[in-house]
Amino acid sequence: MQDKKYVSKKELWMYALGAGGQGMIYASMSGKISDYYTNVLQLDLMFVLILMLAARIWDAINDPLMGMIVDRRSLKTGRMRPYIIIATPIISVLTILMFLSPNLEPVPLMIFTAVVYILWGMAYTLADVPFWTLPNVLTPNSKERSDVISFTKIINSIGSAFPEIFFAVVPIVVGLFISQDTDPIAFGKIKYLVIAILTVVIGGVLYINSYFHIKEKVVLPDKKKVPGQPGSLS
């Protein structure tokens, strides 16, 4: 079994490119969100710090909960794959909402921001935990599984670098229509929204496309039904 290959080159690339798309979406949010909240939405810095701390605390609870959900039962089209289809549209919508810059009073704006930010983190966990567990069901070959993870991490890192390109190019394009010096707030709102749309479209397509090209070959029993029983080949 250790010599047999179960993951084709096409399947490997489609899974890895999906990880690249995921990295692109995550980096577009995490890399600049503090600047966006404080300098564009002009939210109070203490509020932003508390929000991010609360989100990290909730993530520490939410991540293992998601792992337990995945372990408990399979869905009709697999144990891990379905979450790509389920989570991608939710993440895409929430990413756009995060950078939509609604024209609200300070308190409603803080409430809106907090709700979207927390929901985004939950949606990302909904996709992230099953996605990075997929190598366990793509192949029973431990050596091949390690190779899949290593290659996929590389492509994920490359995808994570793409938003930096967007942050370099998009301001130039936006500057053709609105001056950053004249109206820096409006300039920032348009810049961040355009970058969010770009990353959601490109990253989301790459991410959701992986669903159609990968196959779960190792069947893991639902822990609720057969505790402790090892997986078997389908």
23 burial level (CB within 10 Å; 0-12, 13-18, 19+): buried
Amino acid letter at 41?
L
Q: Cβ distance 112 to 104 under 8 Å?
A: yes
DSSP state of 230: P
Average pLDDT over residues 40-64: 91
Structure tokens at 197: 């749309």
Q: Is 223 helix (H, G, I), strand (E, B) or coil?
A: coil
Average pLDDT for 199-211: 94
Ranges 21-25, 46-50, 72-76, 133-137: which has the least confidence: 72-76
- CA dist 185 and 200 (Å) reads 22
- pTM score of the predicted model: 0.85
Which residues in 58-83 are b (16+ Cβ under 10 Å) and which e? ebeebeeebeeebeeebeeebbbbbb
Q: How confident is the model at residue 2 (pLDDT cuts 50, 70, 90)?
A: low
Give long-range contacts, CB 8 A cutoff, 24+ apart: 33-37: 33/98, 33/117, 36/99, 36/188, 36/192, 37/113
In 3D space, the residue among 63, 46, 42 whose CA is nearest the CA of residue 128 turns out to be: 63
Above 90 in pLDDT, residue 227? no
Domain boundaries, the chain: 22-233
Domain 22-233 falls in which CATH fold?
Growth Hormone; Chain: A; (1.20.1250)
pLDDT exceeds cutoff 80 at 75: no
pLDDT at 226 over 60: no
Which band of pLDDT confidence, cut at 50, 70 and 90, is reported for residue 200?
very high
